Structure 1
Amino acid sequence: MLKNLGTFATEYASDTDDIAEDFYDPCLRKSVTYDRITGFFSSTVFHLVHSALAVFFTENDGRMRLLCSPRLSAPDADSLLFGYAARSNAILAETLRAELAEMLDSAHAVGTRLLAALVASGRLEIKLARVAASVSEADKRMFHDKVGVFTDSAGDVVGFRGSLNESYLGLSANGNIESVDVWPSWEGGRDAQRAHNAVSRFARLWEGEVPGVSVVGLPDDIRRELERVAVDADLEALLRHLAKQTPAEPVVGPPAVGGIELRRHQINAFERWVAEGHRGLLAHATGSGKTVTGLYCAQTALAAGQVPLILVPSQLLLEQWGNQVRELLGARVVLAGGGHHEWSRGGVLRAAIESARVERPYAVVAVANTAAGPAFRSQVRPMSGKLFAIADEAHRFGSPEFRTILDWLDAPWRLGLSATPERAGDAEGTAAIVDYFGGIVHRYTLKDALDDGVLAPYVYHPSWVSLIEAEQQRWDALTTEIRRRFAIAKAPGAKAHTAEQLRMKLIERARLAKGAANKVPAAADLITQHYHPGQKWLVYCDNQAQLADVRQALDRRGIRSWEYHRQMRGDADTTLKLFDVSGGIVVAIKCLDEGVDIPSATHALILASSRNPREFIQRRGRVLRRSPHKTVATLLDVLVLPETLDQNDPKWSLAIGELARALQFANWGIGQAATSRLEDKWVSMGLSLAQIDELRTAGVETDDDDEGDPSSD
């Protein structure tokens, strides 16, 4: 009986406990059923609970039920299993079939055959769930925190909730840092209530009785595939095989680069990239470890005798990649651009690529404007067949200037890294990137990173100001002009330059909101009210004039700040180092959007924002990076919103763009206060909550126009 196991700890954490040995193993030995909600399941977990598994299924005649659903957000509600988005049963079946084939070819094929045998025999049932945004918080928590229930023959229950998945990385002592809270039903009080609630909710979810959760069994095609695999699999023999293994036997650990172990999403991304012929774009949120994933792919290329050519948009990223390739991969590095000219002398670059061997690895890191030049092309193009092309901030390479690199760089292996590979308002540039790299093979959104604990949770504080009279008059005039130019651009026979004129007017109007005069005193007020010495604030401005105004406003209040931008007179690196050590306030422009890593930043105050997904994804990711002394981040946002509004108002597109972005910030943050505040503002403008629900459903990360759709004005 479970009671005979003695007193359970209230929590098991993988940095101090062996969760598999101390908790899972003994509970399985005493249970007859095991019910589990998990975002990811892998048969490799069987290798960690091997002896207990045999007892559970053979001696106890145990039954296991797994309900898998890895996503909660509305845009990802169709995601099902193993992190793949499958929008039909046919796509789902094909995805799972490929996953099964890959597992059978892996080092853990025995566990995979056991999985098939258990499903075919009815001892393991797996269902898949689609979770809508309307699900209650209690039921969301079952999925978000991943709940499990062990039950013995006497009906006693041990329930648990934690961050881990039912996988090797979730349970292994060498895997992710995870923890579980445990509640035995016989302890009474709150533990008994939690255990009872877990049993009840799982039953309702399993039977599909919870509104907003659609539960389906495995597709028939996959069930037949598992039965086919199980035909030659002797269940009892497989269980005996696992039971004979000892913990001392080696278990293949998670992939790593330079001692840094990959997280599950990074492993998934690597595997999808390999499956696509070593080509593809990774759309991974800022702060989720794109660089580490790229380095692991580069490590694979070096082992195959190839030379990684890493293309970056800035000198800062050139230095960062160069240092990491040396330190983590142990390769010789040739730097091109950013003040490094040695590559261009006497064919040095070509000679390095020609000389590269597995035992003598080389890598090239080049700034994009250097790589776009004829001198670089003449040395590298003849060697393209030996290269692995990696583009960091890959969206930059869709520009007309850098797109030329993609035309001649015929590298067999290709990898693009970007939080948002799609170029806002540039379908041609986006198509060039997608065509060259072979499409987006793996997505990992900021919401995914928050759910998985890769990024720090955050509190969101929205506030708002209005345009001053002169700004409002200019806004109205520009809106009228935009409507006129939009009609001209859509007319038959419109000239090519008309669309560009329209785009420039949209940018001019957007700049009015970004640089609204009332934002400066609002920023000074927020910092005065909330800043405490020792905190580390990033203040995002639109231009140097706004930056100077903010700093002057803070100076008048006796608050010291530093500036950070590309044209600054002082030493930028020293500024960031001082900020990282001592804290304070850094007022910056766009240069913090790409490449600058300040994980210790605790607060972000956003004055200049747009509907360009890349900007706010990067800015949120910048302040949400994990740091040893940061548990929760804080985002403060200054919006531009009118007092009243209707759909015919020239301010309509401005308010919609601001609120769409703010609602997403609020929905992914901690608590409901920000959402309630935004809803109250919406109502105060004379609009119904039904309209804001439509706006919330539409979201903002799917917008493909930096400054909105003029047809909606």
Structure 2
Amino acid sequence: MLEREDCAALNQGANARNDPKLRAALNGTIEDLERDLSHDTLTALAWMIADGLLDFRVAIPTADLDGDFHDKFGIFRDATGDAIAFHGSPNDSERAFRNYESISIYYSWLDAREAARVDNEQNRFELIWNNGDVNLRVYALPDAVRRNLIAFTTRSARPYPQPSGSGSAENDERWRHQKDAAAAFFKFGHGVLEMATGTGKTRTALNILEELRERGLIETAIVAAFGTDLLDQWHKELLRHTSLPVYRAYEQYREAQSFLNAPKEAILLTSRQNLTDVLPRLRPTAFDKTLLICDEVHGLGSPALVASLTGRLKPIRYRLGLSATPERIYDADGNRFIENEIGPVIFRFGLKEAIQRGILCEFDYVELNYALSDEDRVAIRQAIKRHHAKARAGEAAAVETLYREIARIRKVTVEKIEPFREYVTRNPKALDRCIIFVETAEYGALVQPILMDLRTDFHTYYQDDDRDNLRLFARGDLQCLLTCHRISEGIDIRSVNNIVLFASARARLETVQRLGRCLRIDPDNDAKRARVVDFVQPRPIDVDDPTGELNADEERRDWFIELSAIRRQIGSPVVRHKSQL
């Protein structure tokens, strides 16, 4: 419960951070902070928020709790690292002086036990502040105001004019593609948004969800994605941006039945595979007011899902597909299924436009040359001979199978190892905040000795590896991550500076996803410029190649060179506002 004047002052300060003119006007009213804290408290608070000296967020209990966020704790830390933590009831109210209250204080410099208590409070604060506690939803102040989560004790008028907009026109202009994408969806009601990684697909989808709810067009939403990391990321975003209860149906979470019991005004977050089980059990009467969001929608076209989901998605009134690369190369059936069940591509915003606007960062392309070994050439010739022999025998021999076989030989050739060793020995910074993509864990074992020789702080992140490895890398506690496919899609780690592509397919789908891992703007590194290290083998002239697969490296190189030449347009400042992403 706030006075309207208090809320208005806090919100004005938050708006001023993104609006230079408003901030300048606000700052100009402050001559003496100490005097204004005593005599013009609201203006002083607004000024400190605008300058980043204060932040406010609002915590709301989730559906599992029916009370208030009533905990009181905090941490103070000085320049030397000493800290005090408190936990208790330091209420500054008339009634507090009549209540039975208590408070505990911990001092980090006394002993290890006290220091551990301070760290526990610090970790708990950061968990809640960053919306990581599943029992709470935490909103930045402007979102809390917009969602009417703040109640007022009076109905007095705002003491100054309403600030115009939450950001400068320039900033809004840079992100106009999100509004254009949403407008395209509202026009058609179903379809695919093809948006480069890092340009706000998730935020756009959430805006569409909220707009459909506000218009009364939907009562239920289902979000389908693939991979625990991406699903967990969606869970955090849903808790942060919607007030609806979110049920999960993936990994250890078995909440699909709870959702099906009461789908109205609820969201189900599920793996793509679980759609086969969930959709037949959802009451058909709910379909007309349901939004289905399929993230990385290209994965929906796999043969198994095509077989089990044909005809099951189209009855849902609103169907939204998201992908940076929606087309499935060499898979006409999968592409046809996605278009029939979800819809065609209705909006495109690519890497070129994103780099030009400063939404994604510029990057340098490093080409490392290698030559196929005699064994590799023999393996390719044998693969081609087998393909022709099957064709002559009248056996079904899909050319796509030959494409993949040749591509795999190139992905696992050991001839890439030595050029990599020579490059990173000369350029060790290429391994700083770096993700190395390999085809198999066995191939990764060939790379590991190089990392160990250079004393690189790294860990693997394969299918069976602990997910804590990804968290350590995301936090900056690991310098380098060695992985296969697990983080090709969707994961948002903005501090990644470098990627190394030992394994790249001719189809750009996976390459675009991996490129997106390093092009995201890092709010903690204004000067970020990414680096892509790639392996290119000129097409051998002594090998017959009916597939054209042996020219794939050169095609990919030319594409990378074209992208790396793109520069941010003057007047498009680098994005530093996390709320837009």
Q: Same fold (TM over 0.5)?
A: yes
Please give the secondary structure, in 2, of the residue aligned with 1:634.
strand
CA contact (8 A) 1:337 1:367 kept: yes
Structure 1 668/384 Cα, relative in aligned 2: closer, same or farther at 3 Å? same
Mark the CA change 1:249 to 1:559 in structure 2 (over 3 Å): closer, same or farther: closer
DSSP-derived class of the 1:401 partner: helix
Partner of 2:312: 408
Q: Retained in 1: the 8 A contact 2:403–2:547? A: no
Residue 663 of structure 1 is matched in structure 2 by 558
Residues 202-221 of structure 1: pairs in structure 2 closer than 5 A? none
**Residue aligned with 1:592, SS:** coil
Work out whether 1:282 is the aligned partner of 2:282.
no
Report Cα offsets for 1:648-669 as digits up to 9, x if no partner: 7549934421111111111111
Q: Could you say which residue in structure 1 is the equivalent of 2:375?
A: 470
Change (3 A) 1:533 1:479: closer
- Asked if the contact 2:435–2:481 (Cα under 8 Å) also holds between the matched residues in 1, the reply is yes
Q: 1:632 aligned to 2:529?
A: yes
Residues 418-497 of structure 1 aligned to structure 2 (within 5 Å): 418-483=323-388, 485=390, 497=396
SS in 1 for 2:298: helix
What whole-Å deviation, never above 9, does each CA across 1:468-488 have from its counterpart, x for those lacking one?
A: 111111112223333555x65
Give 1:535 shift: 2.2
Offset, 1:342: 3.2
Match among 263, 270, 273 for residue 185 of structure 2 = 273
Flag the 1:297–1:334 CA change in 2: closer, same or farther, 3 A.
same
Unaligned runs of 5+ in 2: 1-16, 26-141, 143-159, 568-581
Q: Distance in 2 between matches of 1:377 and 1:295?
A: 25
Task: Quote the residue 1:645 is aligned against.
Answer: 541
User: Residue 338 in 1 paired to residue 242 in 2?
Assistant: no
Distance 1:545 1:383 in 2: 48
1:362 is matched by which residue type in structure 2? A
1:506 aligns with 2:403: yes
1:372 corresponds in structure 2 to 276
**CA offset at residue 594 of structure 1?**
1.2
| In structure 1, distance between residues paired with 2:336 and 2:431 | 46
1:394 aligns with 2:289: no
Q: What percent of counterpart residues are identical?
A: 23
Provide closer, same or farther for how the CA distance between residues 337 and 377 of structure 1 changes in structure 2, counting only shifts above 3 A.
farther
- Give the drift of 1:670: 4.2
Residue identity in the other structure for 1:377: P
Give the equivalent residue in structure 2 for 1:685. none
SS across alignment from 2:253: coil
2:229 equivalent in structure 1? 316
| SS of match in other structure, 2:360 | coil
1:100-137, Cα deviation, whole Å (9 max, x unpaired): xxxxxxxxxxxxxxxxxxxxxxxxxxxxxxxxxxxxxx
CA distance in 2, matches of 1:546, 1:327: 39
Q: Is the 8 A contact 2:434 2:500 kept in 1?
A: yes
In the alignment, the residues of structure 1 paired with residue 552 and residue 499 of structure 2 have an alpha-carbon distance, to the nearest angstrom, of 20
Q: Determine helix, strand or coil for the equivalent of 1:518.
A: helix
1:325 corresponds to which of 212, 219, 238: 238
Is 2:505 aligned against 1:610?
Answer: yes
Question: What amino acid is aligned across from residue 530 of structure 2 in structure 1?
Answer: A
5 Å-filtered alignment, 1:122-201, equals none
Distance in 2, matches of 1:652 and 1:366, equals 38
Query: Is the 1:262–1:293 contact (alpha carbons within 8 Å) kept by the matching residues of 2?
Result: no
* Residue matched to 2:259: 349
Partners in 2 of 1:380 and 1:261 — Cα distance? 42
Structure 1: which 5+ runs fail to align? 1-13, 23-173, 175-246, 673-713
Task: Provide the rounded CA distance (Å) in 1 between the counterparts of 2:236 and 2:275.
Answer: 19
Higher RCO (CA 8 Å, separation ≥ 6 residues): 2
Aligned-residue offset at 1:406: 5.0
Cα distance in 2 for partners of 1:362, 1:262 equals: 33
Aligned in 2, Cα 1:598/1:659: closer, same or farther, shift over 3 Å?
Answer: same
> Take 1:386 and 1:564, find their aligned partners in 2: how far apart are those partners?
40
Q: Which amino acid aligns with 1:405?
A: L
- Which residue of structure 1 aligns with residue 451 of structure 2? 554
Could you tell me how far 1:583 is from its partner in structure 2?
4.7
Q: Distance in 2 between matches of 1:665 and 1:284?
A: 18
**Per-residue deviation at 1:376?**
5.5
Determine if contact 1:318/1:338 at 8 Å carries over to the other structure. no
Whether 1:384 and 2:295 are equivalent positions in the alignment is no
Q: Cα gap change, 1:506/1:574 in structure 2, threshold over 3 Å: closer, same or farther? A: closer
Alpha-carbon contact 1:478-1:505 (below 8 Å) kept? yes
**Residue in 2 aligned with 1:362?**
266
> Aligned to 2:292, what secondary structure does the other structure show?
strand
User: In the aligned structure 2, how far is the partner of 1:251 from the partner of 1:628?
Assistant: 25
Aligned to 2:421: 524
The partner residue of 2:213 within 280, 302, 313 is: 302
User: Structure 2: how far apart are the matches of 1:609 and 1:454?
Assistant: 25
Counterparts of 2:359 and 2:280, CA distance in 1: 38
Contact 2:537–2:554 (8 Å) recurs in 1 = no
Aligned counterparts of 2:358 and 2:295: Cα–Cα separation in 1: 24
Deviation string for 1:430-475 (max 9, x for gaps)? 0111122221100111111111111111011111101111111111
